[in-house]
Amino acid sequence: MLSFNDLGRVMFIGVGATAVMDAWLLTLDRTGQPFSGFGLIGRWIGHMARGRFVHASIARAERLRGESALGWATHYAVGVIYAGLLVLTPGLHWLERPALWPALVFGLLTVVAPFCLMQPAMGAGFAAARTPRPGANRLRSLGNHIVFGAGLYLSALALEGIRS
Backbone angles phi, psi at 62, to 5 degrees: -55, 130
pLDDT, one tens digit per residue, over 127-139 is 999 999 999 999 9
Has this prediction a pTM greater than 0.85?
A: yes
pLDDT, one tens digit per residue, over 88-108 is 998 889 998 999 999 999 999
Contact (CB, 8 A) for 4 and 89 = no
Contact (CB, 8 A) for 61 and 78 = no
DSSP codes joined into one string, 69-117:
HHHHHHHHHHHHHHHHHHHHTT-THHHHS--HHHHHHHHHHTTHHIIII
Q: Give the count of domains, the chain.
A: 1
> For position 163, what pLDDT does the model report?
72
> For position 13, what pLDDT does the model report?
98
Alpha-carbon separation of residue 66 from 62, 69, 139, 152, 153 (angstroms): 12, 5, 30, 28, 32
Q: Which residues contact 135 (CB under 8 A, 6 or more apart)?
A: none
- Domain hosting 115: range is 4-163
Q: Is the pLDDT of residue 158 over 70?
A: yes
Q: Is the pLDDT of residue 2 over 80?
A: no
- 1 pLDDT band, cuts 50/70/90, is confident
Q: What sign results for the dihedral spanned by CA atoms 24, 28, 30, 31?
A: positive
Q: If DSSP states are collapsed to H, E and C, what string results for 6-37?
A: HHHHHHHHHHHHHHHHHHHHHHHHHCCCCCCC
